[in-house]
């Protein structure tokens, strides 16, 4: 037993000695690193200054700006809208500057690819549209709801879509946004559909105003005769129900007139621009970050060079 106890003490002593040696080696390496930084502080500072200066210069030279247009395609023109964006991209890939100049876009070479994506909003998709709700419900029973909501067929039916593109310099609505929107709205077919829809809405509004006026006349007449009608409770009860139906009809017509007025605003274009945001400085990827990345790369290269140099000297010393 005593022999085992001594053996255990020896083993524990070796373990603690190994642990102590390990931590001492770490401290030695850390101290050597501090000495290395001290001995090469001037070189490191110069590399940091050069890297920051070069990165700052490149960040200023390679600025990229993002532009965003939120639109709503009216009259079932979602597929038409996506086809138009595809056409713009194909012309961009071909570097067809004549095409862009013909539609009024200035300096197309400074533009990037134009992208479009739906703004996923299921509530807007099913809002007051029973058929859309039933469609989502039916499709959800057959597969993953998230995939259905984001697939191409469903997504093109969302009311709002986001068009984005980049330029290497700032731009203006006149130079890029307005020509693109004009190009998207250049459709004889959908323009004819738009005009007829507006005519129909105006005619409906006139008819609704006439109906509301007739209802007001009936209500005024009922009000003037209400005292005499109260003498017969049965007649009063029946006419009171009739009056409630008339008032409800008037309320629905007033709501419909309000919606029609909003539609007159929203349907003034085939592809209606809801909002436009331009000249937002892009910070995606390494854009705007080179002033920090390049100094870090310089230090990595410097440390790698020193490490290889030390390794080379050690190998030469071994072979000597």
SS3 167: strand
Co-location of 93 and 116 in the same domain? yes
Co-location of 80 and 169 in the same domain? yes
Place of tokens 């996506």: 82
Residue 228 has a pLDDT of: 53
Kind and range of the H or E run holding 162: strand 161-167
Co-location of 204 and 171 in the same domain? no
- Please state the φ and ψ torsions of residue 165, each to the nearest 5 degrees: -160, 165
Co-location of 48 and 95 in the same domain? no
Give how many domains the chain has, as a whole number: 3
- Please state the φ and ψ torsions of residue 185, each to the nearest 5 degrees: -90, 5
Co-location of 155 and 273 in the same domain? yes
Residue 298 has a pLDDT of: 86
For the chain (320 residues), the mean pLDDT of every run of 10, in chain order, is 53 68 76 80 86 79 86 92 93 90 88 88 61 60 59 72 90 91 94 94 93 87 63 50 81 91 91 91 71 85 84 77
Domain extent for 152: 63-186+269-281
Residue 234 has a pLDDT of: 44
């Amino acid at each position: 037993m005593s022999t085992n106890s001594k053996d255990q003490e020896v083993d524990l002593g070796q373990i603690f000695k190994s642990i102590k040696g390990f931590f001492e080696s770490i401290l030695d390496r850390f101290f050597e690193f501090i000495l290395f930084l001290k001995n090469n502080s001037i070189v490191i500072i110069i590399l940091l200054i050069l890297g920051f200066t070069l990165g700052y210069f490149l960040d200023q030279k390679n600025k990229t700006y993002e532009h965003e247009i939120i639109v709503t395609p009216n009259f079932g023109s979602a597929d038409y809208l996506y086809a138009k964006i595809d056409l713009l991209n194909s012309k961009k890939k071909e570097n067809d500057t004549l095409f862009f100049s013909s539609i009024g876009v200035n300096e197309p070479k400074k533009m990037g690819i134009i992208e479009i994506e739906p703004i996923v909003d299921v509530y807007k998709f099913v809002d007051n549209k029973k058929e859309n709700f039933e469609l989502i419900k039916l499709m959800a029973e057959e597969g993953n709801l998230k995939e259905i909501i984001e697939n191409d067929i469903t997504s093109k039916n969302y009311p709002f879509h986001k068009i984005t593109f980049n330029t290497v310099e700032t731009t203006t609505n006149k130079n890029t946004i307005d020509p693109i929107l004009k190009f998207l709205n250049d459709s004889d077919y959908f323009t004819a559909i738009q005009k007829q829809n507006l005519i129909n809405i105006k005619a409906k509004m006139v008819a609704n105003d006439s109906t509301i006026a007739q209802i007001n006349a009936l209500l005024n007449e009922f009000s003037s005769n209400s005292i005499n009608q109260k003498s017969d409770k049965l007649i009063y009860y029946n006419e009171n129900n009739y009056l409630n139906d008339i008032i409800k009809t008037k309320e629905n017509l007033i709501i419909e007139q309000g919606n029609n007025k909003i539609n007159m605003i929203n349907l003034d274009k085939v592809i209606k621009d809801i909002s436009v945001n331009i000249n937002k400085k892009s910070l995606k990827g390494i854009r705007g970050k080179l002033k920090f990345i390049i100094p870090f790369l310089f230090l990595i290269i410097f440390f790698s060079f020193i490490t290889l140099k030390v390794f080379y000297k050690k190998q030469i010393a071994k072979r000597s």
